[in-house]
Amino acid sequence: LTGVEVAWRGEVGSEELERLHAAGFERRESPYDWRGQLERHSLGWVTARADDGALVGFVNVAWDGGVHAFVLDTLVDAAWRRQGLATRLVRMAEDRARAAGCEWLHVDFEPHLTDFYLEACGFTSTPAGVIALT
Ligand SMILES: CC(C)(COP(=O)(O)OP(=O)(O)OC[C@H]1O[C@@H](n2cnc3c(N)ncnc32)[C@H](O)[C@@H]1OP(=O)(O)O)[C@@H](O)C(=O)NCCC(=O)NCCS
C-alpha cells in the first residue's frame, strides 16, 4: 500500500483522532484529551498518515505495565479500508509490543471482525469475558 506512512508513537492530535474515532465507531464527536490518555496509559500507538498529512489509520496499544498489551481503537478511514492497512498497523503494534518485552497481545472484537483479527492479523481465538459496567 503506497501513499501512506505508518509510525509507532507518531505525533497525533486529540482533535484529528477524535474525528477518526467518532467516524469509525459511528458516534458524535466530542472534545476528548486523546493525547493525555495515550501518554498516560498506552505502551504506544500506531498512526497512518496519507501523503497530504491526514490521519487515516490508528491503533492504540494499552498496557498493564508488565507482559500484557491490549489492542484497542483499531481504526482506518473509510476511504482507505480493505487494502491491508489495518493489518499493517496491527502488525507494527505486535512487533513493538514484543520488542518492549510484552509476552501477550490481547484483543476483543465483534463477530464480524473475526476474519480480520484471526485470519489477517494472526490472533488465536480464546475464551474471554467482559462486563458492561455502565
Ligand atoms: C476494522 C477496520 C480497522 C479494518 O481496516 P482495514 O484496513 O479495512 O482492514 P484490512 O484491509 O487490513 O483487512 C484485512 C482483512 O480483514 C478482513 N476484514 C477487514 N475488515 C472487515 C470487515 N469490516 N468485515 C469483514 N471482514 C473484514 C478481510 O478478510 C480483509 O481482507 P480482504 O479485504 O482481502 O477481504 C476498519 O474497517 C474500521 O476502521 N472499522 C471501524 C472501526 C472498528 O470497528 N474497529 C475495530 C475495533 S475492534
- What is the value of pTM for the model shown? 0.97
State the pLDDT at residue 61: 98
* Most informative mutation of 91, 113, 130 for ligand 1 (most atoms within 8 A of CB): 113
Amino acid at 57: G
State the pLDDT at residue 41: 97
Please say whether the beta carbons of 58 and 84 come within 8 A: no
Which one, of 79, 71, 53, 81, lies nearest residue 117 by Cα? 71
Strands 42-50 and 68-76: unpaired
Q: Whose CA is nearest to atom 15 of ligand 1?
A: 116
Going residue by residue through the chain (134 aa), what tens digit of pLDDT does each one get? 889 999 999 999 999 999 999 999 999 999 999 999 999 999 999 999 999 999 999 999 999 999 999 999 999 999 999 999 999 999 999 999 999 999 999 999 999 999 999 999 999 999 999 999 99
Our answer on whether the CB atom of 20 is closer than 6 Å to any ligand 1 atom is: no
Distance CA 59, CA 117 (A): 13
Our answer on whether the CB atom of 32 is closer than 6 Å to any ligand 1 atom is: no
Please list the residues that pair with 4 across neighbouring strands.
50
Contacts of 130 (CB under 8 A, 6+ apart): 108
State the pLDDT at residue 1: 83
State the pLDDT at residue 45: 98
* Most informative mutation of 27, 61, 81 for ligand 1 (most atoms within 8 A of CB): 81
Query: Which ranges in 66-114 belong to alpha helices (H)?
Result: 85-99, 114
Tell which atom from ligand 1 comes closest to the C-alpha of 75.
39
